[in-house]
Structure 1
Amino acid sequence: MTDSPGPGSFADINEKVGEEWEAETTPYERVREVISRTYSPVSPETIADDARTSPKTARKHLEALADEGFVTTSTSETGGTLYQRSAESLVVEQAADILSEVSTDDLRERVADMRETVREYQNEFGVESPEELSVAATNDVLSGTGTESETIDEETLREWQTTRRNLAFANAALSIANAQKFVTDDTQPSSGSVSPS
């Protein structure tokens, strides 16, 4: 029988992996990687710790990422700047991932299917969104017109929310694909154009 490694062994492994990551990447790459998974506002010091760099360096790269639109900023209660991944950059990234895996024709079909599924939920429950359904059910229970036994099936609620989220990302992907098509079409010379001599 072998002895299982103690907690110190895991700490050593984590430190070794961290050292390798630091040696193989630039501070900018590490800051970008850390902030790419940061969805709530944090200080540059927090990012610096995770990215194995100084707060000054982290702040410099976070400001550059904010200028690019990859990061958004807010002000803390003490007046400091906080950083987090921007929703827009996440949407663009998700849309690009979708386009790399699914053809635009298939995506159009999936969008139509998801729209129909959302319409079915709306018709079944008589509200526009799962959030409205939750509020309506709570109001019914509080007003005495509903009972606890009439609570919404959580799985159905999650499926509706997931479908709406996936539909939003798919629509974004289609919009990007259409925009790319127009850019590509605009850069092609038209058949009636005269080439410069």
Structure 2
Amino acid sequence: MTDSAAPGKFDEVNEAVGEEWEAETTPYERVREVISREYTPRSAETVAADARTSPKTARKHLMALAEEGFVATSTGDHGGTYYRRSPESIVMEQATDILSHVSVDELVNRISAMRETISEFQTAYGVESPDELMVEHTNQTLSDASDNADGIDPDALQEWQTTRRNLAFANAALSIANAERFVGGDSSGPEENTSAP
């Protein structure tokens, strides 16, 4: 038998944690933390509720974050402004994280290995990308009256998509590392071509 008061206890704990978060952070920090996890557009009111601040304060901080490039804005169906994490800030965060864990030499080796993996997929399936493979497979399925169309290995497709994504982030990290070398005055060393297949 369960204790019917248990959900109330969780609500109390959640409220206590929320109050502690509110006491230890500024409204700006809370708005930034809330929006940092948002990849779909949200209104300032929704962000404000999660960030424990007023919509006016949330809107002010969201606009500041948009000016910094951390937040992207869009216009909703009814003309209101919606906010989400900007793709550029996500790329920068991922690239910076890669550079904090992997040396440039190791990064170059990993990029080479990922390019080879992608090349193997392209050769095996006879198309340039997983998207093209899906279109080709759909067209083949629609045109094939019999149910004998070959299926796509979902694990292979997932690996191909993941490798392409990881290569894009790795290329961004390498570009940043190269740019930092030039800003720092060290322009020696080989440059890696960062174009992704």
Q: Give the TM-score, by structure 2 length.
A: 0.90
Q: Any gaps of 5 or more consecutive residues in structure 1?
A: 187-197
Check the 8 A contact 1:140/1:146 in 2, yes or no: no
1:41 aligned residue: 41
Counterpart for residue 78 of structure 1: 78
Greater mean alpha carbon deviation, residues 136-145 or residues 77-86: 136-145
CA distance in 2, matches of 1:162, 1:69: 26
SS of the equivalent of 1:185 reads coil
- The residue correspondences of 1:31-180 to structure 2 (distance < 5 A) are 31-144=31-144, 147=147, 150-180=150-180
1:140/1:147 contact within 8 Å kept: no
- The whole-number CA distance in structure 2 between the counterparts of 1:49 and 1:148 is 53
| Structure 2 Cα separation of the partners of residues 64 and 49 of structure 1 | 18
Structure 1's 148 and 12: CA in aligned 2 closer, same or farther, altered over 3 A? farther
The sequence identity of aligned pairs, in percent, is: 67
TM-score by length of 1: 0.90
| Structure 2: segments with no counterpart, 5+ residues | 187-197
TM-fit CA distance, 1:150: 1.3
TM-superposed CA distance for 1:9, in Å, is 1.0
Distance across 2 between alignment mates of 1:139 and 1:171: 32
Q: Does 1:6 align with 2:6?
A: yes
| Aligned residue pair count | 186
The DSSP-based 3-state class of the residue aligned with 1:150 is coil
Note the alpha carbon deviations across 1:78-106, whole angstroms, 9 max, x for none.
10000000000000000000000000000
Provide the residue aligned with 2:25 in structure 1.
25
Q: Secondary structure at the match of 1:100?
A: helix
Which has the larger Rg? Answer: 1
Per-residue deviation, 1:117: 0.2
* CA distance in structure 2 between the partners assigned to 1:104 and 1:149 by the alignment: 44
Secondary structure of 1:78's counterpart equals coil
Query: What's the counterpart of residue 16 of structure 2?
Result: 16
* Cα RMSD after superposing both structures: 1.9
